[in-house]
Structure 1
Amino acid sequence: MNKYEHLYEKTISSQPIYDGRIIKVKVDEVQLPNGKTAKREIVNHQGAVAVLPLTDDGKMVAVRQFRKPLEQTIVEIPAGKLEPGEEPLTCAIRELEEETGYKAEKMELLSSFYTSPGFADELLHVYIATGLTKGESRPDEDEFVDALELSLEEAHELHRTGEIRDAKTVVAIFAWENRVLRSRG
């Protein structure tokens, strides 16, 4: 017996609601550990990557773009969804170049985490890119972004003012700060 079996929710039925290009949505009826039933709205996502690109002069490369769900423009680290069967590292290399024009000499996995496990199964892989060489960006035809370089202080200021507020970028900034502090220590 699994030591966490007392927490398990058994799926009784599953009803597909939406099958889109980026997400699928379903409603599962589950049996709770206490025997009662409940409905769970679930978003399935093929996963994504994000890249914390760090220049040799200590800046983070980020992109500014409009996000329709928020109805505002925010600053984020470059990111994108995985294609079916694609390796996360391959996707990270592609997304960095497409959105910023930069190529990295080194890509190192920082962390992989679930973005919103209460309702979605999206697994996000975050890489740190170093040894950057600037080139020409090639965003997707439906993607409009401005690349910018930020110092750690500028990134914290944009976080403080709300221009940076997505989880992957906030995590990346604090990981970057931790890296800087460790290198001094």
Structure 2
Amino acid sequence: MGWTQMATEVVHCGPFITLNRDSVIRPDGSSGTYEHITIDNAVRVVALDDNDQVALVEDHFYLQQRRVLHLPGGGSGGQEPKEAALRELEEETGLVAGSMRPLGVIDPLPAATAATTHLFFATDLRAGTVHRDDTEIGMTVRWWKLSEAIEAVRAGRITEAGSVAALLLAASVPGR
């Protein structure tokens, strides 16, 4: 027997997340509550140039209270994942990808509803236009060899879940 949802209460609804509290019957038959968030699907992009360098972005994140190095990406905003990946890549880095291939999909937050992150591999890069939003004002772009970025994952210097998964998957792309 699995979980049974009896009722849902919206505790908070904001522009980026909704907090829900469900009344549930647990797998063992007891009743209780289960809190979860609903967030937009997300994308992360491994943008690789002809010199095997990957575009990383670094930005100050409020909750971490530090600068975080990660791959370009963000919420899908209701777009199809590939279109969102193309948009986020250009918005954050000013790069346009001539080729955008899926790398995989992860569920980084099992306690979140609709929090799937689609991972992409972008090549054939050309200059576009940066369009960062107000939360990305201090964002900078860094170019690292893909092998160095993977080592940074292993050393714990790149820790954002979508970036970790995408970089490790990109290492096995044949003929990059």
When the two structures are superposed, what TM-score results if normalisation uses the length of structure 1?
0.87
- State the alpha-carbon separation in 2 of the partners of residues 130 and 183 from structure 1: 12
Matched residue, 2:76: 82
Larger radius of gyration: 1
- Secondary structure at the counterpart of residue 120 of structure 2: strand
Alpha-carbon separation, structure 2, partners of 1:183 and 1:128: 12
Q: How far is 1:65 from its partner?
A: 0.6
Q: SS in structure 1 opposite 2:131?
A: coil
2:24 and 2:170 mapped to 1: Cα distance?
Answer: 41
Does the Cα contact within 8 Å between 2:3 and 2:25 map onto a contact in 1? yes
SS at match of 2:150: helix
In structure 2, how many angstroms separate the alpha carbons of the residues matched to 1:29 and 1:62? 42
Q: How many residues align?
A: 175
Equivalence for 1:175: 169
Partner of 1:39: 33
Q: Percent identity?
A: 27
Q: Gapped runs of 5+ residues in structure 1?
A: 1-5
1:73, 1:163 within 8 Å by CA — same for their partners in 2? no
Task: Give 1:142's match in structure 2, choosing from 135, 143, 152.
Answer: 135
C-alpha distance after superposition, 1:113-170 (max 9, x if no partner) = 2111134431111111111113332211331210111112321343345331111111
Question: Greater share of strand residues, 1 or 2?
Answer: 2
Which consecutive residues of structure 2, in runs of 5 or more, have no partner in the other structure? none
CA root-mean-square deviation: 1.7
> What secondary structure, in the 3-state scheme, does the structure 2 residue paired with 1:33 have?
coil
**Alignment counterpart, residue 100 of structure 2, candidates 104, 107, 119:** 107
Q: Deviations over 1:73-113 (max 9, x none)?
A: 011100111223x2111111111001001101111111122
Preserved CA contact (<8 Å) 2:43 2:73: yes
